[in-house]
Amino acid sequence: MPTRKRARACEEVKSESVAEVKSESVAGVKSQSVAEEVAVATKHSSKSRKKQAAASPVSAVGTTTGPFPTHRAPSEVEARAVHHALSLLHPEVTEELSKPKAEEGGCGSRHLVLDALVGTILSQNTTDVQSHRSFCALKQAFPTWEMVRTSPAAAIEQVIKSCGLAETKTARVQAILNLLHEERGECSLEHLREVPDEEVKRVLGSYKGVGAKTISCVLMFCLKRFDFPVDTHVWKIALALGWVPKAATRDQTYEHLNAKVPDEIKYALHVLLVKHGKVYKNDVRVLRETLRHCEAGATEAGARDEHFRGEEKGQASLSPLLASEPTAIKKEVTAALG
């Protein structure tokens, strides 16, 4: 009797082992299948991120970090599609971006890091035209930052009053200059060119009145790093497109999109979104219509290819899929916005 029990026990163990092996085998096949699908879907972006990580101090783009780790949008495909649609809507921006750039008055677009920082501070809550005018007036009245540091606040405020909030901006600029003088013995931030992005963010973020958008502008426009500034226009459009949750703040939107948008289109996409926001007052109806038009055009191209392949095989022709231009809704929205 004991012998039969041992035999039965051995058979049960053997059956369980076989079942486990089969289960693990099936799970392994499923895991391998999923892994292969993911690998194919992310092949392009993975290669791109590896190259960017090797060529710059910026870390690889994350997909599960940031303020909204479970919010999938925008995918790389979505970001590139919006970039393409905006390029069609605003070809003058794409053309301008392709030209060699001299130093200009835009947010952060100055050669010296301290110039870029001060210029961006002056641009807060005002237009590019007004902030550029104030910056030029400041540099003309006080040629060196040491002179700005040691001059009476009232004199500085008078010079930059056209950009608004002159008292607040003067106090912040002079506080930064005084801190630089104490810590480094000179009014300069050129040492930031040699440090990683996170250190740049730490240093600039320690100054009062310097937030994520200002830091990002300095990083992207001046230091030529892969960063994605989020101003009011970018924020509002991102909310409208569902790229971030409805309750997302501007800083949260920056953190999320900076990790999602492919590095090589960050500069152009930022400029295009700002342009679109100004022209259409952050309305995305024309943009959505253009995206649909582009998608239909891609479908038409695919159908045309299939049609030619069908003709070669003697199959019936496919009816052409024609997409309408987004002209009507573009005129409608433009008229509504005045």
Amino acid found at 246:
K
Reference 89, options 274, 213, 257, 320; nearest CA is 274
At residue 333, the pLDDT reads: 54
DSSP annotation of 338 reads: -
DSSP annotation of 163 reads: G
In the chain, which stretches have pLDDT less than 50? 1-3, 5-7, 9-10, 12-62, 307, 313-325
DSSP annotation of 222 reads: I
Reference 306, options 295, 317, 293, 290; nearest CA is 317
At residue 65, the pLDDT reads: 78
Environment class of 55 (CB within 10 Å of its CB; exposed 0-12, middle 13-18, buried 19+): exposed
Q: Judge whether 164 and 123 are in contact, CB under 8 Å.
A: no
What are the residue numbers of the active site? 213
Q: How many CB atoms lie within 10 A of CB 48?
A: 16
Which CB contacts under 8 angstroms, 24+ apart, belong to 204-208?
204/117, 207/172, 207/175, 207/176, 207/179, 208/172, 208/175
How far is 113 from 111, CA to CA, in rounded Å? Answer: 6
Reference 191, options 182, 179, 200, 201; nearest CA is 200
At residue 328, the pLDDT reads: 57
Give the start-to-end residue ranges of the domains of the chain: 108-227, 285-337
Q: How many CB atoms lie within 10 A of CB 96?
A: 12
CATH code: domain 108-227 is 1.10.340.30
How far is 278 from 187, CA to CA, in rounded Å? Answer: 35
Residues in CB range of 249: below 8 A, 6 or more apart? none
How far is 239 from 246, CA to CA, in rounded Å? Answer: 6
Environment class of 279 (CB within 10 Å of its CB; exposed 0-12, middle 13-18, buried 19+): middle
At residue 297, the pLDDT reads: 75
How far is 54 from 1, CA to CA, in rounded Å? Answer: 70
How far is 273 from 257, CA to CA, in rounded Å? Answer: 13
At residue 327, the pLDDT reads: 57
Residues in CB range of 190: below 8 A, 6 or more apart? 112, 113, 114
Amino acid found at 51:
K
Amino acid found at 242:
G
At residue 99, the pLDDT reads: 86
